[in-house]
């Protein structure tokens, strides 16, 4: 497969005009072979190429595909930046089309192309021609985006180049998932646009593409997961007499049960690749593995080894649950553990710090 790099060769003139010539491919399309291939494809798909409506189809398809994959030659004319213009130059919403190399179906969209001049300026129409030149061929949008940016960067040597493509892919709209109207957006930022946040923000804003809002940092977000369990307990201090325990704990000195709720809060930075502080399904798994599996439908006084020797009040449980959870959290930081003993009573622990 021929790439744009193979189609184009840099050729700098020594004169002040500094025109760059774009060459055509060395190996032209074999139209007759292409027509035979289309005819064979029709037969393979169960159609009769001799039918009146299909007689000219091989020629038409071969001609159309040749047009779609053949770059158009043009002169990349640049001019001396005699007035020292150093602000953004942007061409917005340049229509383009290309052909997906995976399915040989078109993808169609618009390109936003900008640059920060240095010593040379380029004719504005050449930005559009550069997009068309790179788009003619079998492409993927990601590579096309980079190729347009690199093409302009090599020929203009500007302080920065920015390219954003927005396109609908027929291979996604008409087949497979068939999501008509879905747009794929890709960008390539070189030089100052890549290194300077303010320049990048200006380019994306003027191109009509808003940069993502920065994710909160420094633990600014908290996420919570609630799990429930049922357990029995009695409040009893072995160092006190029976009367002393009754005076201290009242009816809770008798074995009884509660429908507990456990709220676990994790704080941290948002992972930009997932949008999560922590996957709450994973947090649920950690809570269940470390706590719920051991305490659900158990006697907290006798059946849970890691509660042995502790009076199982809501306060004690909150501390014990924290100790069980903290070593297992690889994402985020444990912020608080709240144990609801009843809908009116809860105890919360936030660590010993």
Q: Active-site residue numbers?
A: 233, 252, 256, 258, 296-297, 341
Nearest residue to 164 via CA among 151, 143, 145? 145
Residues present in the chain in total: 353
- Chain-centroid distance of CA 186 in Å reads 11
Q: What is the DSSP code (8-state) at residue 292?
A: I
Instruction: Compute φ and ψ for 91, nearest 5 degrees.
Output: -110, 115
Alpha carbons 229 and 91: distance in angstroms, whole number? 61
Strand partners, 224: 265
Residues 6+ apart with CB under 8 A from 73: 21, 22, 23, 24
Residues 6+ apart with CB under 8 A from 90: 112, 113, 114, 203, 206, 207
Instruction: Compute φ and ψ for 258, nearest 5 degrees.
Output: -140, 150
């Amino acid at each position: 497969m021929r790439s744009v790099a193979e189609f184009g060769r840099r050729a700098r003139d020594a004169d002040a005009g500094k025109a760059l010539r774009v060459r055509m491919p060395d190996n032209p399309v074999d139209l007759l072979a292409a027509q035979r291939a289309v005819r064979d494809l029709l037969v393979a798909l169960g159609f009769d190429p001799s039918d009146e409506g299909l007689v000219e189809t091989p020629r038409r398809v071969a001609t159309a595909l040749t047009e779609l994959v053949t770059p158009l030659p043009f002169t990349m004319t640049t001019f001396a930046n005699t007035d020292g213009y150093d602000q953004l130059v942007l061409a917005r919403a340049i229509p383009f089309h290309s052909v997906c190399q995976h399915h040989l179906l078109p993808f169609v969209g618009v390109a936003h192309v900008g640059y920060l001049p240095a010593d040379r300026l380029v004719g504005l129409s050449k930005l559009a021609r550069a997009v068309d030149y790179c788009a003619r061929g079998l492409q993927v949008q990601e590579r096309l985006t980079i190729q347009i940016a690199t093409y302009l960067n090599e020929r203009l040597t500007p302080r920065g180049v920015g390219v954003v493509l927005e396109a609908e892919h027929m291979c996604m709209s008409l087949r497979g998932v068939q999501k008509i109207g879905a747009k794929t957006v890709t960008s390539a930022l070189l030089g100052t646009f890549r290194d300077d946040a303010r320049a990048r923000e200006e380019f994306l804003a003027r191109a009509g593409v808003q940069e993502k809002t920065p994710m909160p940092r420094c633990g600014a977000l908290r996420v919570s997961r609630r799990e429930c369990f049922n357990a029995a307990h009695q409040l009893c201090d072995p160092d006190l007499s029976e009367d002393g325990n009754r005076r201290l704990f009242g009816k809770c000195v008798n074995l009884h049960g509660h429908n507990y709720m456990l709220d676990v809060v994790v704080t941290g930075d948002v992972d930009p690749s997932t949008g999560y502080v922590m996957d709450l399904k994973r947090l649920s798994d950690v809570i269940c593995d470390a706590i719920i599996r051991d305490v659900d439908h158990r006697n907290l006084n006798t059946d849970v080894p890691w509660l042995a020797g502790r009076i199982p009040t809501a306060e004690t449980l909150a501390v014990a649950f924290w100790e069980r959870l903290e070593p297992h959290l690889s994402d985020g930081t444990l912020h608080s553990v709240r144990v609801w003993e009843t809908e009116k009573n809860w105890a919360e622990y936030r660590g010993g710090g």
